[in-house]
Amino acid sequence: MRDISIKDDIVLGMKLSAFGKKITTKSGISVLMDDLGAALAAGSDMVMLGGGNPAHIPRIEGVLRDCMNRALADPGRFERMVGDYDPPTGNAKFVSAVANLLKKHFGWPITSNNICLTNGSQTAFFALFNMFAGRFEDGSRKKILLPLAPEYIGYTDVGLTEDLFVAYKPEIEILPDHLFKYRVDFDAIRITEEIGAICVSRPTNPTGNVLTNCELNKLADLAGAHNIPLIIDNAYGAPFPDIIFTDADPIYNDNTIVCMSLSKLGLPAARTGIVVASKEIIAAMAEFNAVMSLAPGGLGAAMVTDLFASGKIIEISRDVIHPYYQEKAQMTVDLLRSKLDGIDFHIHKPEGAFFLWLWFPGLTVSSQTLYEVLKDNGVLVVPGHYFFPGLDDDWNHKQQCIRLNYAGDEAAVAKGIDILASQIQRLC
C-alpha cells in the first residue's frame, strides 16, 4: 500500500480543485491495485485470487514472443514501433486489420473510420462516460444506466461528476449444484430523460454472466428507441480473446459502441483498448486522444498486427485461450463444491471471463471484513460491495459476495480455496 495519502483536498498545503479532490480520493480500484502491487513487489507468498491479470498461457506467450522476434528481425520495424507517434486513432495498419477481421467474421458494416485505439479500456470508458453523461451546457445532468448490477469495479470512479450511474437489481435464478444466474429485470428498468447511455459488460466482470442474445437485443432496442448509445464492454468476448462459454452473438450498429482490448489476450501491460463505433463517435474519441495523450500507445498494436491481418488471432482464441479458461473454470467450481460442502453458498454460473462470483447468504460479516480476514491469512480476493455502482440501497446481497480470479497457477488457486473454506466455516 502507498504510504502517502491525500488528506481532504490539500496536497503540500495547496488546495485541490473539485476534479483534483475527486480523482485523488481513495477508490475501490486503487485499493485493489495497491494491494496487488504491494504483494507482487514484496515477492510475498500471498495467494493472488484478486485482480484482473490474465493467465500466463505458455502457448500464447510463445506466439507473442514470436511476434516480437519478427519485429526485431525486420530492419527498421522495431524502431518505428517505439520511436514514432501514431495518429490519434491509433496504429493505422492494426486498425485496418481489426476492421477487416470484424467485417469478415461478423459482417459488421465498418471500415477503419469506425475504430479508434485508446490507452486501455479504462481510458475508453473515462472518455465515453463523460461524453454522454454528467453536466451539459443547458444545465441538465445525465447518467449512465447499468441495467444489471453487479458490474465492473473500474466504472465506479471514472466520472468527472458525482452520482454518474443508475443501476438496477437483477432477477436471481437459483440453479442446481450450488449455481445461480443473474438476469436483467426489464420490468424495473426506466429510461428517463436523465439517461445518457446504457452500458453492459459481456461477459460480465465480476460474475462471468453473459447476457443472452435476447437480453442484449432488447437493450439495443431500448437504446435505439431513446436515441442513446448502448456501450458494450467486450473485453473477454468474441472473437478475441473468446473467453466465453455459451452462445452469444456479438451485435453492432450505428447506435452501438463496442469496446475491446488486447489485455485479456495476454498483453495487459501494452494498455491497448479498441473502440468500435460510428464515424462521428470515433472522430470524437480521436480528439480525446489528441488532447489527453497526443496518441494512444502503439507498441501492442504494432506487435500483433500480423495476427489480426492473417486471422490467426481467431484461431488461437478459439483453440487455445477459450478451452484453457473453460477447463480451469470447471476445475475451480468442482473444487469449491468439494471444499465448501456443508456451507450455504452459490456460485454464479460461469459463462465467461476468468472470475467466479461467490455468494454466501449466511455470511455474518461484511464483504470488506471477509476480504481483510482472508488477506490476513494470505489470500487476496475482491470484496463484492465495490461492484454495485449506481445501486445505493442497503441490499444485503452486496455484502454477501466476493470475486475470485481463477486464472493463476492451479496449486495456488487450490491453496487459496483451502484458506477461504477454513475462514468461511467460521463466518457463516
* pLDDT score, position 4: 46
Q: What residues have CB less than 8 Å from 370, skipping those under 6 apart? A: 363, 381, 383, 402, 423, 427
**Domain stops at, among 310, 335, 366:** 310
Q: Are 237 and 203 in contact (CB under 8 A)?
A: yes
**Domain stops at, among 256, 283, 310:** 310
Please compute the mean of the pLDDT values over residues 282-305 and round it to a whole number. Answer: 95
**Domain stops at, among 277, 294, 310:** 310
Q: Are 362 and 370 in contact (CB under 8 A)?
A: no
In a domain, residue 52? The reply is yes
If asked whether residues 103 and 121 sit together in one domain, one would say: yes
Q: In one letter, which amino acid is 148?
A: L
- For residue 286 the three cell numbers come to 480521436
* pLDDT score, position 1: 41
* pLDDT score, position 43: 55
- CA–CA separation, 91 and 349 (whole Å): 38
- CA–CA separation, 219 and 213 (whole Å): 10
| Band of pLDDT at residue 33, cut at 50, 70 and 90 | low
- CA–CA separation, 183 and 218 (whole Å): 13
If asked whether residues 109 and 221 sit together in one domain, one would say: yes
If asked whether residues 282 and 164 sit together in one domain, one would say: yes
* pLDDT score, position 39: 60
Please compute the mean of the pLDDT values over residues 397-415 and round it to a whole number. Answer: 95
If asked whether residues 120 and 156 sit together in one domain, one would say: yes
Whether the pLDDT of residue 2 is over 50: the answer is no
In a domain, residue 74? The reply is no
Q: Are 152 and 236 in contact (CB under 8 A)?
A: no
Whether the pLDDT of residue 123 is over 60: the answer is yes
In a domain, residue 64? The reply is no
- CA–CA separation, 353 and 264 (whole Å): 9
- For residue 33 the three cell numbers come to 491495485
* Domain containing residue 375: CATH number: 3.90.1150.10
| Band of pLDDT at residue 412, cut at 50, 70 and 90 | very high
Whether the pLDDT of residue 28 is over 80: the answer is no
Please compute the mean of the pLDDT values over residues 73-82 and round it to a whole number. Answer: 91
Residue 385 sits in which domain range? 10-56+316-427
| Band of pLDDT at residue 10, cut at 50, 70 and 90 | low
The pLDDT tens digits of the residues spanning 294-325 come to 999 999 999 999 999 999 999 999 999 999 99
Percent of the chain with pLDDT over 90: 82
In a domain, residue 226? The reply is yes
If asked whether residues 170 and 267 sit together in one domain, one would say: yes
* pLDDT score, position 394: 87
* pLDDT score, position 50: 87
* Domain containing residue 219: CATH number: 3.40.640.10
Q: What residues have CB less than 8 Å from 251, skipping those under 6 apart? A: 216, 217, 220, 232
The pLDDT tens digits of the residues spanning 205-231 come to 999 999 999 999 999 999 999 999 999
- CA–CA separation, 51 and 43 (whole Å): 16
Q: Are 148 and 182 in contact (CB under 8 A)?
A: yes
The pLDDT tens digits of the residues spanning 329-385 come to 999 999 999 999 999 999 999 999 999 999 999 999 999 999 999 999 999 999 999
User: What are the Cα distances from residue 342, in Å, to 225, 337, 339, 421?
Assistant: 48, 9, 9, 11
Which of 34-38, 135-139, 164-168, 259-263 has the lowest average pLDDT?
A: 34-38
In a domain, residue 23? The reply is yes
Whether the pLDDT of residue 8 is over 60: the answer is no
**Which of 420, 414, 423 lies closest to 335, judged by CA?**
414
Whether the pLDDT of residue 99 is over 90: the answer is yes
If asked whether residues 346 and 274 sit together in one domain, one would say: no
* pLDDT score, position 384: 95
pTM of the model: 0.92
If asked whether residues 183 and 286 sit together in one domain, one would say: yes
* pLDDT score, position 421: 96
Whether the pLDDT of residue 6 is over 90: the answer is no
Full 3-state SS string of the chain: CCCCCCECCEECCEECCHHHHHHHCCCHHHHHHHHHHHHHHHCCCCEECCCCCCCCCHHHHHHHHHHHHHHHHCCCHHHHHHHCCCCCCCCHHHHHHHHHHHHHHHCCCCCHHHEEEECCHHHHHHHHHHHHCEECCCCCEEEEEECCCCCCHHHCCCCCCCCCEEECCCEEEEECCCEEEEECCCCCCCCCCCEEEEEEECCCCCCCCCCCHHHHHHHHHHHHHCCCCEEEECCCCCCCCCCECCCCCCCCCCCEEEEEECHHHHCHHHCCEEEECCHHHHHHHHHHHHHHHCCCCCHHHHHHHHHHHHCHHHHHHHHHHHHHHHHHHHHHHHHHHHHCCCCCCEEECCCECCEEEEECCCCCCCHHHHHHHHHHCCEECEEHHHHCCCCCCCCHHHHCEEEEECCCCHHHHHHHHHHHHHHHHHHC
* pLDDT score, position 13: 63
**Number of domains making up the chain:** 2
- For residue 167 the three cell numbers come to 443501476
User: What are the Cα distances from residue 29, in Å, to 26, 122, 152, 419?
Assistant: 8, 11, 10, 24
User: What are the Cα distances from residue 339, in Å, to 32, 45, 383?
Assistant: 26, 21, 20
If asked whether residues 300 and 332 sit together in one domain, one would say: no
The pLDDT tens digits of the residues spanning 55-76 come to 999 999 999 999 999 999 999 9
